[in-house]
Structure 1
Amino acid sequence: MQKQRGLSYVTMLLAAIVLGFGMVLFFKLVPAFTEYFAVKRTVEILAKENASAPMPDIREAFRKRAEIEDIKAISAEDLEIIQDQEGTEIIADYKKIVPLIANASLMFEFRTSAKGGGG
């Protein structure tokens, strides 16, 4: 008598549920990280290109780039801009809450900064 091999129906169903949950999680989290990398890229470009510009000009440049990059998690007013003899440092520090299922959510704390040349 030969023993039966392979996955049972219940095992396949459990594997499909786990895979489905993983895919839902993946598709909910990707936009948060995509937006973070857009914020990071924008902050780096602003620090490089607008290092000697006054703060209102830097904020306005961020507003324009944020509209193009579809950045909604942080506004220009939320940026911390430090200008001194060493240059300009732009810091973006924000939280993003990603709703999962019903009342379960994930909260991410993102922080990025970039320093531009002397002004």
Structure 2
Amino acid sequence: MRDHGGSNQTRVVLGTTATGVTDVGDTLRTVAGRIADWKLPPVGKPSVYKQELTGGRPRERRVVISDFVNYRDPVRTETCREAVELAETLLPATPGVTRAVVVVTDTTQLAL
């Protein structure tokens, strides 16, 4: 992973309904949302996801969540792979931004 002045990490959370994977996104938003100076930008469309991957201000700490497990329609494996690849390659444009990307998906994405 490359570092451009901040810390940029990508995590994939893979689970089942029985293990509570459908609660991961909301739980992250609740917990991190209480911490001063943490930003959790809303991500809906792929274009917004890409913008949020490269966004941020110096000393800003961000968590970008791609919550595939809670989409209405099944997600293609290629879509999840692309989300991970983009998180690894589209880094914040501004030095000093700390950014974590969390891709949440279920066992339908085992090929990921």
Normalised to the residue count of structure 2, the TM-score between the two structures is: 0.32
More helix by share: 1
More strand by share: 1
